[in-house]
Amino acid sequence: MPALIFCQRANVNWLSFEELETALTEQPKKVVIHFYADWCLYCKKMEKAVYTKPEIIERLNADYYTVKFNVESTDTIRFGGKEFMNLNSGKKRMAFHQIPELLAGRENQELELPATVILDEEFNIIKRYYRYISPNEMKAVLK
């Protein structure tokens, strides 16, 4: 009887903002943040079609810290000596947390999802994307 071989699939090493702060202190790296919402279809499509590709997972895990953050989170996040929260929770329909508003927000425009933010080792924004990024485009973005 042949032995069954189970292939363990690698996953993106998603960090919380608190874990990211510690990691950046210990070993600076570029950062990719995937902002999403549970109701966002293209966010789910990116999670299934992009963040599952072995080449993308390998590049992200080797060269970047990655954070996946729900824009409607009601958690209080401590980062950089400050506290960030969702000040609009319960006050309006699409209540976005302060972190995505700060990192992915644009003046006089609503936050669009999915939003992908790329930061350098010192947490300066390099590039922002406000749409679905295909696997091939993501490979190019990460090079």
DSSP conformational letter for 94: S
pTM (predicted TM-score): 0.90
pLDDT at 89: 84
Query: Phi, psi (5° rounding) for residue 139?
Result: -60, -45
**N residues, the chain:** 143
For residue 1, tell me if it sits in a domain.
no
Residue 9 falls inside a structural domain: no
Residue 106 confidence (pLDDT)? 87
What CA–CA distance (Å, rounded) separates 86 from 76? 8
CATH code of the domain in which 54 resides: 3.40.30.10
27, 74, 79, 86, 123 from 23: Cα distances, Å: 6, 23, 12, 24, 12
What is the predicted pLDDT for the residue at 37? Answer: 96
How many domains are contained in the chain? 1
pLDDT in the model for residue 75: 95
Query: Would you tell me how many other CB atoms lie within 10 Å of the CB of residue 13?
Result: 14
Q: What is the mean pLDDT of each run of 10 residues along the chain (143 residues)?
A: 56 95 95 97 97 97 97 94 91 89 89 95 94 97 93
Is 35 within the bounds of a domain?
A: yes
pLDDT confidence of residue 4: 53
Residue 92 lies in a domain: yes
Q: Domain for residue 7, yes or no?
A: no
Residue numbers of the domain that contains 21: 14-141
